[in-house]
């Protein structure tokens, strides 16, 4: 047997099992937490980008439209 196996013993194996049983759920929970934050951040970024795009489209549409439309009688004369 190697020196490491002799030194670990039954108590070391029990501590290893306890550490794994405690550590693994913590790692999984941290992973889920990071995934949830990433999901919420992605949704928020998408909503902000959509709002910015809609705002730009509204501003562009207002700039293209004439401020004062010609009177109806003038439109009728043209046609």
Q: Classify 34 as helix, strand or coil.
A: helix
Domain that holds residue 37: 3-78
User: Can you give the pTM of this predicted structure?
Assistant: 0.50
Report whether pLDDT(65) > 70: no
* pLDDT at residue 29, as a whole number: 86
What domain count does the chain have?
1
Most confident of 30-39, 41-50, 65-74: 41-50
Average pLDDT of span 74-78: 66
How buried is residue 55: exposed, middle or buried, by Cβ count under 10 Å (0-12/13-18/19+)?
Answer: exposed
């Amino acid at each position: 047997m190697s020196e490491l196996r002799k030194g670990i013993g039954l108590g070391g194996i029990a501590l290893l099992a306890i550490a794994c049983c405690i550590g693994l759920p913590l790692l999984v929970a941290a992973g889920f937490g990071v995934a949830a934050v990433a999901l919420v951040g992605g949704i928020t970024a998408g909503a902000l980008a959509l709002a910015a795009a809609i705002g730009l489209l509204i501003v562009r549409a207002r700039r293209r439209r004439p401020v004062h439309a010609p009177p109806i009688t003038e439109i009728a004369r043209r046609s």
